[in-house]
Amino acid sequence: MLAVILSGGSGTRLWPLSREAFPKQFLPVVTEDSLLSETIHRGLDLDGEARVLAITNEDHRFVVAAQLQAQARERTAGIILEPVGRNTAPAIALAALSAEQDPQELLLVMPSDHVLKNIDAFREAVNKGAQAARSGKLVTFGIVPSAPHTGYGYIKAGTPQDGCAEVTAFVEKPDEATAERYLVEGGYLWNSGMFLFRADRYLEELAKHRPEMLEACKAAWSEKQADLDFTRVGKAAFEACPDDSIDYAVMESTQDAVVVPLDAGWSDVGSWSALWEIQPQDADGNVCRGDVITEDVSGSYLHSEGRLIAALGVSDHVIVETDDVVLVADRARVQDVKKLVAKVKAQGRLEHRFHKKVHRPWGTYEGVAMGERFQVKRIMVNPGASLSLQKHHHRAEHWVVVKGTASVNRGEETLLLTEDQSTYIPLGVTHRLTNPGVIPLELIEVQTGSYLGEDDIVRFEDTYNRV
């Protein structure tokens, strides 16, 4: 079985914790592990031979690679990079095309940002679905509803047989009265967005119902190229591919769709309210994470990334503190967080895209202070990692080593710096920073100059093949 993990979302509904450059699937929003790490574990735990294939984009590729390598190691089947987002149907087609050596391999498709509390129940549901999938059925997993939820699509199931039921209809997100009727009538399940089928059967159904999509994916796959741990597909061919979900492109049209009911504490963590619902609450109905003090507070979600949150006399609120943003919202209005994100974008700000701590393939950097013609950053370089060989047209840099050892190429010189030692990189001088040690390298960088933007970088060599 190949666990196919879709990891291309931006997670704006959990802003400001989730940002475009580092969205919710990479964050430990429920447990100490990230949602992606939990999904990887879920795939590997199915059996001792299951492998994991990730599908992601250019911006997130190194974070996905780091988490996949840390969890899956030799059971990694690779990472496919989408040049542009084209929704789930084409992404899954690329995964199916990758099963060239075994076209009948089972693909278990899972979004990277869902929560499942009962892994035993999930494994049992997958085992039931696997029998149907091997026989040629296209299996989806329907969540047994616990409430008349209006935020999910529904699946109407037929008569159960051998743990599965024929899909009689896919239903769009209902209004509250309709959702309540579904719950009373029974036979309706939430659409989880998880699927199980043979690779060849998915491609057959896609050829039948969306042949132009399959041809575009085949053309893109035929132009694939290896780049480090990644597989890049043909950009122009994939850009020409229609944009559609697997539900619309295949599952609503095929005659072979079946559904397996799943009752495993599932959530798509689609909003702050959803996060509040699935986590343990105190006697006042509050979920508190981080440094939080409350007095006369009820029904609220309070999350601190660093600074103390002190809340008094509020009910049914969401309060989230990060290094650079504080969100205060009515818990009933958290679906509208995207409106705030749109305003942040419209003002030309960057808080929708980046955290103060920015992740790079070699480590992280974090803004400490900024003023006219200067900027201070805290930089962490992973053991054995190296920044690109580069220069800047508009800024000079001063580096002070706080912890670890730094190997510095500066023009024709090579310097080895340890704690409390420093160096200066003049404007226009070619340079490179490497951590030759076995512990993380931490240093303080002071930039001075007329322009301090991240795009003032001319790269000559790069271990990670970045432009």
SS3 352: coil
Statement to judge: residues 35 and 68 lie in one domain? yes
What pLDDT is recorded for position 48? Answer: 80
Statement to judge: residues 379 and 332 lie in one domain? no
Is residue 302 included in any domain, yes or no?
yes
Statement to judge: residues 144 and 284 lie in one domain? no
Query: For residue 411, how many other CB atoms are within 10 A of its CB?
Result: 12
Task: Detail the DSSP E strand segments found in 64-163.
Answer: 76-82, 106-111, 115-116, 138-143, 154-161
Which residues, 6+ apart, have CB-to-CB distance to 130 below 8 Å?
1, 106, 196
CB 434 within 8 A of CB 397: no
Is residue 186 included in any domain, yes or no?
yes
What mean pLDDT do residues 10-28 have? 92
User: What CATH code is carried by the domain that includes residue 135?
Assistant: 3.90.550.10
What pLDDT is recorded for position 9? Answer: 80
Interval 75-97: pLDDT, tens:
889 999 999 999 999 999 999 99
Sign of CA dihedral 288, 263, 75, 3: negative
Among candidate residues 207, 238, 267, the one where a domain is terminated: 267
What whole-number distance in Å separates Cα of residue 444 and Cα of residue 400? 5
Is residue 350 included in any domain, yes or no?
no
What whole-number distance in Å separates Cα of residue 195 and Cα of residue 139? 6
Statement to judge: residues 251 and 293 lie in one domain? no
Is residue 466 included in any domain, yes or no?
no
Interval 377-417: pLDDT, tens:
999 999 999 999 999 999 999 999 999 999 999 999 999 99
What whole-number distance in Å separates Cα of residue 108 and Cα of residue 51? 10
Among candidate residues 267, 290, 306, the one where a domain is terminated: 267
Give me 320's structure tokens.
Answer: 């989230």
Which residues, 6+ apart, have CB-to-CB distance to 285 below 8 Å?
298, 299, 300
Among candidate residues 216, 235, 267, the one where a domain is terminated: 267
Q: Is the pLDDT of residue 10 over 80?
A: no
Q: Is the pLDDT of residue 157 over 90?
A: yes
> How far are the Cα atoms of 25, 84, 319 from residue 6, in angstroms, in the given order?
10, 14, 29
Is residue 352 included in any domain, yes or no?
no
Statement to judge: residues 208 and 336 lie in one domain? no
Interval 93-144: pLDDT, tens:
999 999 988 999 999 999 999 999 999 999 999 999 999 999 999 999 999 9
What pLDDT is recorded for position 100? Answer: 86
What pLDDT is recorded for position 133? Answer: 97
What whole-number distance in Å separates Cα of residue 116 and Cα of residue 10? 20
> How far are the Cα atoms of 342, 351, 354, 378, 386 from residue 345, in angstroms, in the given order?
5, 8, 12, 26, 32
User: What CATH code is carried by the domain that includes residue 402?
Assistant: 2.60.120.10
What mean pLDDT do residues 184-194 have? 93
Statement to judge: residues 171 and 263 lie in one domain? yes
Statement to judge: residues 224 and 177 lie in one domain? yes
What pLDDT is recorded for position 243? Answer: 95
What mean pLDDT do residues 227-256 have? 95
Which residues, 6+ apart, have CB-to-CB distance to 397 below 8 Å?
424, 425, 431, 445, 446, 447, 448
CA atoms within 13 A on the CB side of 371: 2
Which helix (H) or strand (E) element contains residue 92? helix 88-97
Segments forming the whole domain that contains residue 59 = 2-267
Statement to judge: residues 150 and 278 lie in one domain? no
Is residue 149 included in any domain, yes or no?
yes
Owner of token pair 């507070």: 297
Statement to judge: residues 20 and 53 lie in one domain? yes
Is residue 230 included in any domain, yes or no?
yes
What pLDDT is recorded for position 407? Answer: 98
Backbone dihedral region of 295: left (phi > 0), alpha (psi from -120 to 50 degrees) or beta? beta
Q: Is the pLDDT of residue 331 over 80?
A: yes
What pLDDT is recorded for position 11? Answer: 76
- Tell me how far the alpha carbon of residue 371 is from its chain's centroid: 33
Find residue 82's DSSP bridge partners.
57
Mean pLDDT, all residues of the chain: 94
Query: For residue 378, how many other CB atoms are within 10 A of its CB?
Result: 16
* pLDDT above 70 as % of the chain: 100
Statement to judge: residues 85 and 227 lie in one domain? yes
Model confidence band, residue 12 (pLDDT cutoffs 50, 70, 90): confident
Statement to judge: residues 244 and 292 lie in one domain? no
**Domain count for the chain:** 3
What whole-number distance in Å separates Cα of residue 128 and Cα of residue 165? 11
Q: Is the pLDDT of residue 467 over 80?
A: no
The residue type found at 57 is N
What pLDDT is recorded for position 167? Answer: 95
Which residues, 6+ apart, have CB-to-CB distance to 460 below 8 Å?
388, 389, 390, 391, 430
What whole-number distance in Å separates Cα of residue 116 and Cα of residue 123? 11
Statement to judge: residues 178 and 85 lie in one domain? yes
Is residue 135 included in any domain, yes or no?
yes
> How far are the Cα atoms of 15, 288, 464 from residue 430, in angstroms, in the given order?
38, 48, 18
